[in-house]
Structure 1
Amino acid sequence: MASAATFLLIIAAAAWISLTDAAPSPSSSFVPPPPCAPPQSAVAFLRARCASTLYGVACYESLLPYACIFQTSHVKLARAAGDVNVAWLRSISKRVKELVARGAAGGTAGPESAVLRDCASTVSSAGGLAKQSAAELAKLDATGATVGRSQVRWAISNAQTWLSASMTNEATCADGLAATGAAASSPVAREVVMAVVRAKELTSIALALVHGIPVPP
């Protein structure tokens, strides 16, 4: 059976494709990287940056495929983390909506159904907020060294605010299901909780990497 990290990369890769098919935006220009052997400097950089997060292993495994792109750039690394986070949230949002629609079609009612409907809304909102953060990082990446100190601070602050709000929405979904006790008895609710827990990890990783972006003097 594939590991959770492997499954994450498969889902993220599929979502990358949908991102490139979407309407043009700063974040959608970040495309899946071709297979490559990253230089040791990039690998060492990733290990060091991931050590500053709460989920070092998940950070390293999910972002290693993009090491040839970010190399030793803090902004590009944070951008990659943000876009992987968006991809995962998009996949969760789609899955929860499918589960809600299936329950409605089958006449399913009760607390679990209501909480799943709430989750569909909050996870969708979380994805929208994460996308805003990713777009902010993409703009910062595009400006490169030409951007000033105040602009970098502003971009970092915006990205952090949106990622923090995204985590709040993710927690609302997970806490709602936990409060009903559905996760203990329902495979559907348990699937959603596990996916949202992974989303919270990825959002936390992106938030930590954004926090680590150096501000020019």
Structure 2
Amino acid sequence: MEQLSLHFLLILVSLICISSSIEPAFARRSQTRAYIEASCRTTRYPALCVQCLSDYSNATIQSPEQLAQVALSVSLYRAQYTRAYMLKVAKELESSKAGKEYYQAVKDCLEQINDSVDQLSQSIRELRRLGHEAVGDDIFWHISNVETWVSAALTDASTCLDEFPGRNMGKLKATIKGKVLNVAQVTSNALALFHRYAAKYRAAKKP
């Protein structure tokens, strides 16, 4: 009987320990999710912003710098994914007689997306320097670099579809348009979140 009681006691203690470890983790997720939702209200596409960043709610994201880094990383990932898709499409069109007339348009758009990937990569590296290396007036130089590169990436993604003819591409054009627009929208959100992060430096500089 004593052994049985001890067995139940051990089970009870184990359950209490598990519960106590789950609750702080749940609280952290809830806090991060609430922070993400509040921050995304400042973006142009808040629902998309929350959707993209909610996958990171298990991490501890509680500062504008962390949020900007994650948002730019999401934008880079979407741009890389779109580039990989368009590389595949370009190869298929190049080898297809029926697709020859669209090959150049896809290739030109692909070059724009490739530029976006490079610019977003540079902006992420620059943001890291801003957070760890920049001092004094160098801070604003780094801020300007990030804003320039992310804005350029957004412009490239937004104008990519100008390369396409206005008809006869059907489903292919719609698919490419959807992917490229997604890159443009998440990049727009990332730029807004970076502006929010950079605002603290600009506010501190004001007399």
Size of the alignment, in residue pairs?
Answer: 175
- Contact 2:78/2:183 (8 A) holds in 1: yes
Output the TM-score relative to the length of structure 1. 0.74
Which range is displaced more, 48-57 or 36-45?
A: 36-45
Please report how far the alpha carbon of residue 134 of structure 1 lies from its aligned counterpart in structure 2 after TM superposition.
1.4
Alignment correspondent of 1:26:
none
Q: Does 1:86 align with 2:71?
A: no
Deviates more, 1:85-94 or 1:60-69: 60-69
What's 1:173 paired with? 160
Taking the aligned partners of 1:147 and 1:69, their CA distance within structure 2 comes to 25
**Corresponding letter in the other structure for 2:64:** H
Over the residues paired in the alignment, what is the CA RMSD in angstroms? 1.9
Question: Could you tell me whether the CA contact under 8 Å between 1:167 and 1:203 is conserved in 2?
Answer: yes
Q: Tell me if structure 1 keeps the 8 A contact 2:32–2:59.
A: no
The range that moved more, 115-124 or 40-49, is 40-49
Partner of 1:155: 142
Identity, in percent, stands at 23
Question: Whole-Å Cα distance in 1 between the matches of residues 127 and 60 of structure 2?
Answer: 13
| Pairing partner for 2:124 from 112, 129, 134 | 134
1:68 and 1:61 mapped to 2: Cα distance? Answer: 14
**Mapped pair 1:97 → 2:87:** yes
Give structure 2 stretches of 5+ with no counterpart.
Answer: 1-24
Partner in structure 2 of residue 209 of structure 1: 193
Which protein has the larger Cα radius of gyration, Structure 1 or Structure 2? 2
* Distance in 1 of aligned mates of 2:139 and 2:34: 25
Aligned to 1:109: 100
User: What secondary structure is seen at the aligned counterpart in 1 of 2:100?
Assistant: coil
Q: Distance in 2 between matches of 1:92 and 1:39?
A: 30
Q: Residue 113 of structure 2 aligns to which amino acid in structure 1? A: V
SS in 2 for 1:69: coil
Contact 1:75-1:140 within 8 A present in 2 as well: no
